[in-house]
Amino acid sequence: MKLQDRVVIVTGGARGIGRAIARKLAAEGASVAVADIDGAGAEAAAAELERGMAIEADVSDPGSVTAMVKAVLDQHGRVDALVNDAAIVPFIPWADVDLEHWRKLIDTNLTGVYLCTRAVWEPMKEAGYGRIVNIASNTVLAGTPNMAAYVAAKGGVLGFTRALATEVGPDGITVNAVAPGLTASEGVLESPHKEAFEFVQSLQAIPRRGEPDDIAPTVAFLCSEESGWVTGQLIAVDGGHTRN
């Protein structure tokens, strides 16, 4: 069990890829704090875990993020890893991308990553150990349509990952990004993105639908001690759709 006695926060852990990540990390021995804007969903996800804890939190709200990290520190005394999974996954043609949508996407999907990372950085620095895993997307490599603000935010997450890795490496903290391809999460299955599975499969080296459980093991590795010589990387987990 590569995460025995480790304390991990998974934002967006109430459903989809985040929920699969929370399950996998718990199975590897971690105490997992499931943080989500959907408080009831976070409760349900945490309840199925051994050593699970639910936190209702909005990653785009600084006060909410501070309270989230405080709750984990009060309970466990440390945070070993943070998985920044929470995001809005829109389907919106460019013609409809107005300033309100743009700001909302950047606030949640990019500023949310900044806020959560900023809030765990100090305790990690003091401990001389930390793992930050940002869930990006292979849309930054593929140029996927109908989500321009989303792809811009994920591009920001990639740049942030690389830059921060350089600054916090001396403190024992690694920062990496995982780029899933189209994955059958609840969010995707209830959106027009689900119509793209057949086409995307035709581009993959492994011709089947990506599932949330396909993403979680790579995240678990990056949350573990074993990945201590890996930082500043973007790892595509997409059945070979993109090859960066």
| Catalytically active residues, by annotation | 150
Amino acid at 65: V
Q: Which of 105, 132, 152, 182 binds ligand 4PL (CB under 6 A)?
A: 182
* Rounded least distance, CB 70 to ligand NAD, Å: 16
Q: Does the protein bind ligand NAD through residue 38 (CB under 6 A)?
A: yes
- The token duo for 186 is 């609840």
CB atoms within 10 A of CB 2: 15
Q: Which does 49 bind (CB under 5 to 8 A by kind): ligand 4PL, ligand NAD, none?
A: none
Q: Does the protein bind ligand 4PL through residue 113 (CB under 6 A)?
A: no
Tell me the Ramachandran region of residue 193: left when phi exceeds 0, alpha when psi lies from -120 to 50, beta otherwise.
Answer: alpha
Place of tokens 């869930």: 135
* Rounded least distance, CB 22 to ligand NAD, Å: 11
Map the footprint of ligand 4PL across residues 74-93, applying CB under 6 A. Answer: 89
Q: Does the protein bind ligand 4PL through residue 12 (CB under 6 A)?
A: no
- Cα separation, 122 vs 92, in Å, equals 37
DSSP state of 237: E
Beta partners for 158? none
Interface residue list for ligand 4PL (CB under 6 A): 89, 137-139, 142, 144, 181-182, 188, 193, 196, 200
